[in-house]
Amino acid sequence: MSDIDRIFIKDLRLRCIIGIREWERKTLQNVVINLTLSVDLAKAGQSDDIDDTVNYKTLCKRIISMTEASHFFLVEALAEKIAQIALEDERIHAVEVQVEKPGALRFADSVGVIIERKRAE
């Protein structure tokens, strides 16, 4: 695998139940998700065939479905679940997941986490 091949999904804006306060458990909250997938893209680059790469539309639909139905307390837990979903595709060797919760802190545009997970050897 090349260490520089990446697929990214930028600023996926979703709404879900997330947070520890009582009102957050009842009200949809905005989240912004960014993903960077480590994938060997050489074969797809040569074949020009979707079957030789990660179908990021399919992956995105799975993440949207899970996120919109979720009820996590922490953005850390949401990020972990997103990483697990990404790594279910054997072509993805590693994933970086960034989850932000805009407006979570007074005077800050956003707060969030970045995690990196690799496929177990």
* Overall pTM surpassing 0.85 (yes/no): yes
Per-residue pLDDT of the chain (121 residues; tens, 9 = 90+): 445 799 999 999 999 999 999 999 999 999 999 999 999 999 999 999 999 999 999 999 999 999 999 999 999 999 999 999 999 999 999 999 999 999 888 898 999 999 999 988 6
Q: Could you say which of 10, 57, 101, 118 is catalytic?
A: 101
The DSSP secondary-structure symbol of 27 reads S
To the query of whether residue 101 is one of the catalytic residues in this protein, the response is yes
Structural domains in the chain, CATH included, are 6-118 (3.30.1130.10)
3-state secondary structure of 79: helix
User: Going by C-beta distance under 8 Å and a sequence separation of 6 or more, which residues neighbour residue 37?
Assistant: 6, 7, 8, 9, 54, 56, 59, 86, 92, 94, 95
Q: Find, among 27, 26, 35, the residue nearest to 79 by Cα.
A: 35
